[in-house]
């Protein structure tokens, strides 16, 4: 009884700590999903490793509300993200746009894969070249090799 | 040639070291404002001391100002307050206050008790101007030039060091521009 009550207490304490969801009314399920997608794509500028859907920082609540208001006003996703970006900066995008400042961010994985590919190709070509360069056995050597092999067979 | 290849790990370590070392001491929570080089967003809000007077971006016309975002609920604002008073009184810097998401009475008491470094204080209880400025945590301090253009933002406490190293050079530059 006692441990159960203790566990319940802990659970309640932690559930109170989670972000309290504000109540937003949507006309359709699709709109609600759109809202959830949008708010989980936007990064909270205050608590930097959370999206604004998960964060209960006051600024995230304001941003959620702005998203809701703009959605109700008929704005499309790019307009909403653009409006917030013009205030809070590119930081709020989890996926930064490709431009001269972020190009290395986007290009590095491709470059690393390319380097890896070149290394693999180099290794394969080199081992092929050394295999092709090996001298075939002369007739004498061939005969000796057969003798050795058949002797071993007889032993067995 | 083979021997030179042996130096590749060393090279990689050195480059990684330089990159990581450059990051030491940088504050990842300080973001550059998206409004640098743009005008202060439009607003029409009452003055803190005088609710009948409506303020708009023209308060920034004519002289380089600091725009300081504060609230009585914000402990770091208390920390920087004395330095703001010092800037206003000893250095003669024009500071515009933005009382952000606060209670008017509490804010007035605060200024009464601690001194008022602000030439004028904008009262923004809903945080609407704060939101348009991209304020994500008080205190924040902006440098606004005489044309009302945002030139710099500092997130966090202003003290003598921050003033000397970050704000003063910007203020000087735009003061000369006028």
Chain CA centroid to CA B151, Å: 10
Q: How many domains does chain A have?
A: 2
Alpha-carbon gap, residue A68 to A62, rounded angstroms: 10
Q: Tell whether A60 and A119 lie within a shared domain.
A: no
Cβ of B74 under 8 Å from any chain A Cβ?
no
The encoded tokens of residue B177 equal: 């521009």
Please list, in sequence order, all residues whose beta carbon lies within 8 angstroms of the beta carbon of residue B65, skipping any fewer than 6 positions away: B59, B94, B95, B96, B119, B143, B144
Residue A97 located in a structural domain: no
Q: Residue A95 in 3-state DSSP?
A: coil
- Note down the domain range covering A88: 2-92
Q: Tell whether A44 and A107 lie within a shared domain.
A: no
Q: Tell whether A116 and A151 lie within a shared domain.
A: yes
Pair B74, B138: CB distance under 8 Å = yes
Give me the CATH number covering residue A25.
1.10.8.640
The reply to whether residue B34 touches residue A89, judged by beta carbons under 8 angstroms, is yes
Alpha-carbon gap, residue B129 to B110, rounded angstroms: 21
Q: Tell whether A87 and A129 lie within a shared domain.
A: no
* CATH number given to B32-177: 3.40.30.10
Q: Tell whether A107 and A143 lie within a shared domain.
A: yes
Q: Tell whether A16 and A88 lie within a shared domain.
A: yes
From B128, which residue of chain A is nearest by alpha-carbon distance? A62
Instruction: For an interface test with A, give the residue of B127, B134, B138, B153 to mutate (most A CBs within 10 A).
Output: B134
Total Cβ atoms within 10 A of residue B166: 16
Last residue of a domain, one of A65, A92, A119: A92
The reply to whether residue A87 touches residue B137, judged by beta carbons under 8 angstroms, is no
> Span B139-155, mean pLDDT?
93
Q: Tell whether A34 and A86 lie within a shared domain.
A: yes
Over residues A36-68, the pLDDT tens digits come to 999 999 999 888 788 999 888 888 999 999 999
Quote the ipTM score.
Answer: 0.77
Instruction: For an interface test with A, give the residue of B34, B136, B137, B156 to mutate (most A CBs within 10 A).
Output: B136
Q: Minimal Cα–Cα distance from B139 to chain A, Å?
A: 12
Cβ of B37 under 8 Å from any chain A Cβ?
no
User: Which positions in chain A touch B133 (Cβ < 8 Å)?
Assistant: 87
Residue A32 located in a structural domain: yes
Q: How confident is the model at residue B29 (pLDDT cuts 50, 70, 90)?
A: confident
Q: Judging by beta carbons within 10 Å of its beta carbon (0-12, 13-18, 19+), is residue B103 exposed, middle or buried?
A: middle
Considering only CB atoms, B31 lies closest to which of A66, A86, A89, namely A89
The reply to whether residue B134 touches residue A87, judged by beta carbons under 8 angstroms, is yes
The reply to whether residue B101 touches residue A58, judged by beta carbons under 8 angstroms, is yes
Over residues A16-39, the pLDDT tens digits come to 444 555 778 888 899 999 999 999
Pair B45, B57: CB distance under 8 Å = no
Residue A98 located in a structural domain: no
Q: Tell whether A126 and A72 lie within a shared domain.
A: no
The encoded tokens of residue B12 equal: 């990689």
The reply to whether residue A45 touches residue B32, judged by beta carbons under 8 angstroms, is no
Q: Minimal Cα–Cα distance from A101 to chain B, Å?
A: 14
Give the pLDDT score at A11: 54
Q: Tell whether A88 and A145 lie within a shared domain.
A: no
Over residues B55-94, the pLDDT tens digits come to 999 999 989 999 999 999 999 999 999 999 999 999 999 9
Q: Judging by beta carbons within 10 Å of its beta carbon (0-12, 13-18, 19+), is residue B41 exposed, middle or buried?
A: middle
Q: Minimal Cα–Cα distance from A151 to chain B, Å?
A: 43
From B156, which residue of chain A is nearest by alpha-carbon distance? A46
Cβ of B69 under 8 Å from any chain A Cβ?
no
Residue A8 located in a structural domain: yes
Q: Tell whether A17 and A87 lie within a shared domain.
A: yes
């Amino acid at each position: 009884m006692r441990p159960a009550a203790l566990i319940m207490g802990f659970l309640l304490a932690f559930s109170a700590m989670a972000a309290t969801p504000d109540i937003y009314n949507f006309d359709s399920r699709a709109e609600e999903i759109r809202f959830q997608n949008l708010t989980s794509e936007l990064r909270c500028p205050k608590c930097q490793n959370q999206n604004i859907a998960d964060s209960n920082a006051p600024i995230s609540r304001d941003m959620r509300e702005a998203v809701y208001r703009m959605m109700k006003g008929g704005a499309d996703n790019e307009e909403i993200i653009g409006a917030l970006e013009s205030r809070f900066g590119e930081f709020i995008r989890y996926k930064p746009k490709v431009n001269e400042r972020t190009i290395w961010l986007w290009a590095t994985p491709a470059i690393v894969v390319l380097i890896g590919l070149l290394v693999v190709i180099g290794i394969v070509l080199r081992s092929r070249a050394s295999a092709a360069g090996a001298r075939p056995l002369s007739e004498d050597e061939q005969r000796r090799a057969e003798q050795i092999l058949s002797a071993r067979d007889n032993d067995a | 040639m083979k021997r030179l290849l042996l130096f590749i790990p060393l090279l990689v370590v050195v480059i990684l070291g330089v990159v990581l070392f450059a990051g030491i001491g940088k504050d990842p929570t300080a973001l550059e404002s998206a409004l640098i080089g743009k005008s202060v967003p439009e607003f029409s809000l009452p003055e803190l001391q005088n609710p009948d007077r409506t303020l708009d971006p023209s308060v920034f016309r004519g002289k380089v100002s600091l725009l300081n975002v504060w609230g009585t609920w914000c402990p770091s604002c208390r920390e920087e307050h004395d330095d703001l008073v010092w800037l206003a009184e000893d250095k003669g810097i024009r500071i515009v206050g933005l009382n952000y998401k606060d209670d008017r009475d509490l804010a007035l008491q605060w200024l009464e008790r601690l001194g008022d470094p602000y030439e004028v204080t904008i009262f923004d209880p809903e945080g609407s101007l704060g939101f348009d400025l991209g304020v994500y945590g008080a205190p924040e301090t902006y440098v606004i030039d005489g044309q009302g253009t945002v030139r710099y933002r500092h997130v966090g406490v202003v003290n003598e060091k921050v003033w000397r190293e970050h704000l003063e050079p910007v203020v000087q530059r735009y003061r000369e521009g006028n």
